[in-house]
Chains A and B, each alone.
Chain A
Amino acid sequence: MAKKTYVAAIKDALAEEMRRDSTVFLMGEDVRLGVFAGTRGLHAEFGDARVIDTPISELGVAGAGVGAAVTGLRPIVDLMFGTFLYLALDQIVQQAASARYMFGGQAKAPIVYMVQNGGGISAGAHHSQAVHPIFMNVPLLKVVMPSNAADAKGLLKAAIRDDNPVIFLSPLSLTGSRADIPDGDHFVPLGKGEIKRNGRDVTICAAGAMVQKSLLAAEILAKDGIEVEVIDPRTLKPWDEEMVLESVARTGRFVAVDESKPICGAASEWAATVSEKAFSFLKAAPQRVSGKDVASPFSPILESAVIPSVDEVVAAVKRVM
């Protein structure tokens, strides 16, 4: 075990996978110096051919990645901010995600798109959006969003080894966070959630930066005698619905906490699944805590009013009690 920052964990995962498999390569804007530093230093070890600084051309780079993937390589494309995925959307949805199915199984596109997701650092509207639901709505894309440095390392390794296109979303506000990282080839399988806190009264499902907030809420609620179970699905698609349904079968109460917007957000999907498949266990209507349905304002006061707060999670849990 060693305590490391989120970006150090990302770097370790990239370096280990690049050492393990010579078909893995990295490209993106400033990956050599590393804007979020997760890629910094890799060029010294892997050189120009495997650590490629690209022009600012998201659509072209995202699509070139697909071309490399269907011809035998395993590209990792670093597009920096989640919102820059919008520029690349056509190639990700129409080529990366579609290639295998549309061409009747002839191809596979093992590619990872890495970005920082969500808000919380006053980066303004264009840089502070939780974009994951957009990708959850795309068939045959995997969507991963870790909540801490250790999971990030293990999930990134799994994403790189996966034969499908994966969107890997690092919560922007966790870039500097630290966690104990297990030694060795720490691997977290895609599609497996984790119970981050056990509790008998209420089940919370939360991902990314919302996991920590939910754990803080659980601590506050424990003082009132309410024991909250906090589940982090870690992979948003395909997601570990069994883990959540099993928990709800025990608790009978459900709260979904997600930074994205309420309409068709991740919380909507979780709450809908629980309502549909665990209805008979429910003692109260499932509740959602989502980002407010407005753009991300710059002012820290306004931005924190838009992103779900610990207080809002506490209030939602009290509503289902």
Chain B
Amino acid sequence: MEKILDIYTRMLRIRRFEEQVGVLFSQGQLPGFVHLYVGEEAVGAGVCATLRNDDYIVSTHRGHGHVIAKGGDFNRMMAELFGKATGYCKGKGGSMHIADFSIGMLGACGIVGGGIPMAVGAGLSAKLRGTDQVSVSFFGDGASNEGSFHESVNLAAVQNLPVLFVCENNQYGEFTPMEKVTGVRDIALRAQGYGIPGVIVDGTDALAVYEVAQTAVARARAGEGPTLIEAKTHRKGGHAEGEKAFLAGGVYRSAEELAQMQAKDPIVLLHKRMLEMGVATPNDLEELDQTITQAVVESVAFARRSPDPKPESIYEDMWV
């Protein structure tokens, strides 16, 4: 019961943070570009709820949700998105490069598929150091067409490493539908080619994600090797914020598809389920929402009142 509330809290923290980021971006308040995790919350939250603080995750260009799911701090995240000195990376990273090594979050990654080998390395490190830590690689359906994915899964398989490969299959890589560029309909099938288990889960069902992740984590901790989990999900928004103006009328998802997707909002689904199960009252959940929303608002104030980085700081954090 507590776990369900925990998962829901992680999801709602992601949703409210991302909604705020979307608004800030549309107002031109954030430099660079941002890719939001809205609609995919159940995957990051369900998986990270099975992890310990000292377990590792490696993220993607769509990484805010993973940081939050692993226990990241709103203030330092928001400050980073504003490019402030108080941000997680002192303004040097930005949206696609947030990391929090203190909670095992080894970094988001602007290069598609670029984080997968590192997750394998963190798993290798855990094995060589004789700990029972596990390592999770989050990546998209598009990333599963990169060589780095295939090499990494095979390496983890032959070394029997404590790694979860979590494919967030939202069915698009940017504006290209998966079936146009991917030889299989289920990414999980690719596990067979490397001799590891491949599991498909409904990525809009947080509790189902939690369950398959738990099994995979238990396997990994017991030294039984890696698992590939494919979570079928969808992104509610664009590939990147500001996409509409950029596409200038170009369309790549039908209205029907968008409507179908709205009906499978992972947060709405879990909210309903929690009420049915008696995990929480509507009032509890409303209060939780207000607390989270307040924390998001405060993170924006924190970011705004934080100092800009000093130009001289370009020469800090160079050689060790």
Question: In the assembled complex, how far is the CB of residue A202 from the closest CB belonging to chain B, in whole angstroms?
Answer: 27
User: Is A33 in contact with B250, judged by CB distance below 8 angstroms?
Assistant: yes
B247 at the interface (CB under 8 A from A): yes
Stretch of B262-270, B284-292, B310-318 lying at the A interface: B310-318
A294 at the interface (CB under 8 A from B): yes
B181 at the interface (CB under 8 A from A): yes
Interface residues on A, range: 35 or more
User: Is A35 in contact with B174, judged by CB distance below 8 angstroms?
Assistant: yes
Question: In the assembled complex, how far is the CB of residue A64 from the closest CB belonging to chain B, in whole angstroms?
Answer: 13
A123 at the interface (CB under 8 A from B): yes
Question: In the assembled complex, how far is the CB of residue B38 from the closest CB belonging to chain A, in whole angstroms?
Answer: 21
Q: CA–CA, A84 to B61, complex, Å?
A: 14
Question: In the assembled complex, how far is the CB of residue B239 from the closest CB belonging to chain A, in whole angstroms?
Answer: 9
B46 at the interface (CB under 8 A from A): no
A182 at the interface (CB under 8 A from B): no
Q: CA–CA, A55 to B32, complex, Å?
A: 25
B309 at the interface (CB under 8 A from A): yes
Which of A33, A121, A127 is close to B110, meaning CB atoms less than 8 Å apart? A127
Which of A30, A37, A58, A83 is close to B174, meaning CB atoms less than 8 Å apart? A30
Number of A-B residue pairs at CB separation under 8 A: 119
Stretch of A96-104, A219-227, A272-280, A300-308 lying at the B interface: A300-308
Q: Known A55-B181, A126-B114; judge A299-B33 contact (CB<8 A).
A: no
The closest CB in chain B to the CB of A35 belongs to: B174
A243 at the interface (CB under 8 A from B): no
User: Is B97 in contact with A301, judged by CB distance below 8 angstroms?
Assistant: no
B80 neighbours in A (Cβ, 8 Å) = 298
Contact code string B126-166 (vs A, CB < 8 Å = 1, else 0): 00000000000000001101110000000000000000000
Task: Count residues of chain B with CB under 8 A from any CB of chain A.
Answer: 43
User: Is B91 in contact with A122, judged by CB distance below 8 angstroms?
Assistant: no
The closest CB in chain B to the CB of A58 belongs to: B146
Q: CA–CA, A200 to B89, complex, Å?
A: 47
B146 neighbours in A (Cβ, 8 Å) = 56-58, 87
A297 at the interface (CB under 8 A from B): yes
User: Is B97 in contact with A33, judged by CB distance below 8 angstroms?
Assistant: no
User: Is A297 in contact with B143, judged by CB distance below 8 angstroms?
Assistant: no
A67 at the interface (CB under 8 A from B): no
Question: In the assembled complex, how far is the CB of residue B79 from the closest CB belonging to chain A, in whole angstroms?
Answer: 11
A238 at the interface (CB under 8 A from B): no
A191 at the interface (CB under 8 A from B): no
Q: Which of B5-50 contact A (CB under 8 A)?
A: 31-33
A124 at the interface (CB under 8 A from B): yes
User: Is B83 in contact with A298, judged by CB distance below 8 angstroms?
Assistant: yes
Q: Known A301-B311, A302-B309, A302-B313; judge A126-B109 contact (CB<8 A).
A: yes
User: Is B174 in contact with A57, judged by CB distance below 8 angstroms?
Assistant: no
B89 neighbours in A (Cβ, 8 Å) = 298
User: Is A300 in contact with B31, judged by CB distance below 8 angstroms?
Assistant: yes
Q: Which of A101-147 contact B (CB under 8 A)?
A: 121-127
User: Is B110 in contact with A125, judged by CB distance below 8 angstroms?
Assistant: yes
Q: Which of A252-311 contact B (CB under 8 A)?
A: 292, 294-295, 297-302, 305-306
Q: Which of B173-205 contact A (CB under 8 A)?
A: 173-176, 180-182
Q: CA–CA, A63 to B250, complex, Å?
A: 30
A192 at the interface (CB under 8 A from B): no
A125 neighbours in B (Cβ, 8 Å) = 92-93, 97, 110
Given A60-B147, A297-B92, A299-B91, 4 other A-B contacts at CB below 8 A? A30-B176, A57-B145, A124-B110, A301-B83
> Can you name 11 A-B pairs with beta carbons within 8 Å?
A30-B174, A56-B173, A83-B111, A87-B147, A124-B93, A126-B111, A298-B92, A299-B83, A299-B91, A299-B308, A305-B311
Residues of B within 8 A of A (CB): 31-33, 80, 83-84, 89, 91-97, 109-114, 142-143, 145-147, 173-176, 180-182, 246-247, 250, 252, 308-309, 311, 313-315, 318
Residues of A within 8 A of B (CB): 29-30, 32-33, 35, 37, 40, 53-60, 83-84, 87, 121-127, 292, 294-295, 297-302, 305-306
